[in-house]
Structure 1
Amino acid sequence: MLASLLGLGLGLVGCQDKNAGGAMDEIATDVKFDEATYGVPASPRMAESTARNIKKGGGRSQVGKPYKIKGKWYYPKDDPGYVASGMASWYGPNFHGRLTANGETYDMHHLSAAHKTFPLPSYAMVTNLENGHRVKVRVNDRGPFAHAREIDVSKKAAELLDFKRSGTAEVRVEYLGRAPLEGDDSQMLLASYAPGESAAGSIMVASSEARGNGLASAASYDGSSKAPVPGTRPMQTLFQNQPSRTGDMIDALSSFRSEERRSGATKALEALGAASAPKNEEIHLGTIDRRLMAKVADVIGVGSTARAEATNRPNLVSATVTAAPRVDKDRLLKKLWSAGFSDAFPIRD
């Protein structure tokens, strides 16, 4: 039956890609997953949504083959000199503790990102063009594929770049090169943060007010370097051992402590987002051989579906799996990798 289904749907693979939008082959395993019937519950995600001790690294190093999402082709490659401007978004609680495209575990408190074509893992510098803030991120995931956005960054990166509340920002993305698989690069990435001119202005105002009150001066920055201007103290020592009456000046640095100063509305929105996580998630298999596609039903099991779209190569299809609601998506992703679908990754809009 499966062979007949594949033969019927994939008989169109010789069509030109421009006509392939309607050539779809769907493999359905529509037996509903039932815990009482199958004797095992769906597995929990790899980490709790609030965990902060998530292991870093440990994934796979890969570039990946060309792939097609929503009618558009993407060509992953090691691209020294890559610089592009576009919109950035961020993703957090819904995916915290889940596997990324290269097998690492997503940590919204880490400085990481998703990009459509960069090697995994790699490093990129992201600059918020609206305020000049910039920070280096570890690219270990694929996306975003919605609204023509350039990059998706972690919650922590969005906080440092100061667009977490707005949700999006216009940014410049610079590819910096490949990243090592093992080891925790958190401190190195955090040290790369440099505030923009607007932040420098706020700090200088605080410095002036401090001097007017007979307090120690604040650090000032030139907007392009993390090094303090000569004659000033590091910013983190600005209010050290000072009386509580300096609270108004501490507010000037609130963008650097957004986690501690989140508004109740922001927390409520995040909780709502976590509660409304999509029940059916898609895993893109990449561009694969028809013979490999014939194995997909045995891998995905009951309740999930797979569809294949024709390409301009007779023996290749672009394939996607829609995981059933009760299926452990991370476990399914690992099974797909082990079965030979090495370019499979979760689609995050």
Structure 2
Amino acid sequence: MSETAAEPTAPLRARAEIDLGALRANVRALRARTPGAALMAVVKSDGYGHGAVPCARAALAAGATWLGTATPEEALALRAAGLPGPILCWLWVPGGPWRQAIEAGIDVSLSGMWALREAVAAARAAGRPARVQLKADTGLGRNGCQPGPDWAELVGEALRAEAEGLVRVTGLWSHFACADEPGHPSITAQLDRFREMLAYAEEQGVRPEVRHIANSPAALTLPETHFDLVRTGIALYGISPSPELGTPADFGLRPVMTLSASLALVKHVPGGHGVSYGHHYVTPGETTLGLVPVGYADGIPRHASGAGPVLVDGKWRTVAGRVAMDQFVVDLGGDEPAVGSEAVLFGPGDRGEPTAEDWAQACGTIAYEIVTRIGTRVPRVYVNGEEIG
């Protein structure tokens, strides 16, 4: 979970500028849309590529009350950085750091009996109860306990462990499969199943602190799913979870990351000049080429070859030929920006630059992947780190 100082003292090959002021504003916008629920800031995968620790701090400062991670290692790193309050982590494997998580006061998600057994054993070793949340598979078909006998067994054994002082059941939760697809029939089916599984657990005596199923798309568009807590991931970073639902601006959100690089070379070439591996692009006439010094080792999708948009000198350009490991080329059409000029791959769009969604469309993927895959060779530069006034 790398953390880079604010403005650098020397030009950078590339930079991912992270606007923490935009992130705080996004938290406030999300809270306004979910007034009856607490808000979890999901900072898994190093804050979706934005930097988990600084983004977590900014989110808590703006009113988020929970943090969420996938892996226990991510959660433990947040605690080591001094992040307070409840943290939920949900992706466990046998032999994981259960005791460390319990000692750090981290909520651990349980989807089956094996996980409950490991949590109980770790709680005994730690000499303190484990904070556990029981996850229900209401139809996503990934993690989570199946309804029926499996759920009954998990609930019953968790209550027995709670009676022994070994666990505290702090939450009941699930996850949508298609909340980003308006009107999908699975949404209602999952919500009905979740209510049924909640009712069973509560009838048996579970008294959770929080019940939650809403992810970013549900938080934005399905108020009936909010319950006690909403888990906001991609929306926190100012990216719409689906173009079908609306743009970031439609939800009062602003993209947090701007990815840019400094042109490493500008040169004249004749027509018929091959560009990059395989010569999949050949210049149609005499032109100028600009070398952008980032590639797939930095997280630029190779699928962006011949398609990825870049703003250079106020004009949209397109990746010419293949994206290589460390660099790609744009055809500047005869223009001659200075070496060192800024090439903006994506940002909020205020200056006419492409957005992460534009890159997603060019690559046949989703904007989540575009920002999350930006690698550690690209420094994160944090701006607007403190509230003004």
For the aligned pair, the TM-score class normalised by the smaller chain equals under 0.3
**Alignment TM-score, normalising by the size of structure 1:** 0.26
**Alignment TM-score, normalising by the size of structure 2:** 0.24
Higher relative contact order (CA 8 A, sep 6+): 1
**Which structure dedicates a bigger proportion of its chain to helix?**
2
